[in-house]
Amino acid sequence: MSQYPALRLRRTRATGWSRRLHAETVITPADLIWPLFVTQGTEEEPIGALPGVSRWGLNGIVERAREARELGISCLALFPNTPSALRTEDGREALNPDNLMCCAIRAIKDAVPDIGVLTDVALDPYTSHGHDGIVDAAGYVLNDETSAVLTEQALVQAAAGADIVAPSDMMDGRVGQIRDVLEANGHRNVQIMAYAAKYASGFYGPFRDAVGSRGLLKGDKKTYQMDPANAEEALREVALDLAEGADSVMVKPGLPYLDIILRVKNAFEVPVFAYQVSGEYAMIEAAAAVGAGDRDTLVLETLMAFKRAGCSGVLTYHAPLAARLLGA
């Protein structure tokens, strides 16, 4: 016998207070990580492929940190736009304790010490060839040689004051090596957020403009980033990174891989983060610009999708907008 009308599921949707009371998933500004691009100089540099996103010098980065604190955003993720003159085959600028990344870390921690700083551990912002590591004569990214450099890079960032180092390179074994060197050098509370399931995606294009690596890349990254066809492999990658000492894991990109987020969360019950990448951001902005959707609604709905799938938090360029909407 039908339960209708004794059970009317629309009853709890009838008013705003009731919808809030019965919400199964909640997102707050504290769930957001705001990616920021660091550049030399003092001028703001708007990024054409990412409307509303800019590169910032150190003063601008500090102002964004203060803005984030006021909005209740928990953490900033930093990415440098290294000058072309400092990009080399071996990416040695990544190990410079006074590079853009390290200067930005120190500036933020001096001015806004209570906000988290997450740093990208990878060589693509520093190499002249645009790959995430050291390449051989055939253009193949060498795993162990790259991991050795990444380990030094993570140590340099931790010494500058990074709270979370996030290896995004997808080299095998690098998480364990980074954990060992952090422990050995007294950085026991520096977290590792491993880009555990980073796919070889078409959604990264605007990011490469932002860090100045578009046009440098020779070939593609399919020998180290994951095949979009694979899900079981993602679970193996996550298992390895957790066993090596990762505190949390990331799935990247975001919306096209909600199934991966859910499977990782269900399998491991650990903190899982998603990166709503530059191409995803640009698509929302393009839709809003032509009236195909309301920007505010699209932003909050996509962020809710990440939380519903099991994310502890989301890296998103929409972080300040979302925080204002959530705090309204």
**DSSP label of 85:** G
Cβ neighbours for 235, distance < 8 A, ≥ 6 positions apart: 263, 264, 267
Cα–Cα distance measured from residue 256 to residue 259, given in angstroms and rounded to the nearest whole number? 8
CB atoms within 10 A of CB 319: 29
Residue 190 CB partners (closer than 8 Å, separation 6+)? 158, 162, 163, 164, 165, 182
Q: Which residues are catalytic?
A: 198, 252
Q: In this structure, what token pair is assigned to residue 212?
A: 């100045």
CA–CA distance, 151 with 307 (Å, rounded to integer): 31
* 53 Cβ neighbours under 8 A, 6+ residues apart: 37, 46, 47, 210, 281, 317
Q: Are the CB atoms for 242 and 259 separated by under 8 Å?
A: no
**Coil, strand or helix: which one is 207?**
helix
Cα 286 from Cα 298, distance rounded (Å): 11
Ramachandran angles phi, psi of 81, nearest 5° = -105, 85
Residue 233 and residue 196 in contact, taking contact as beta carbons nearer than 8 Å = no
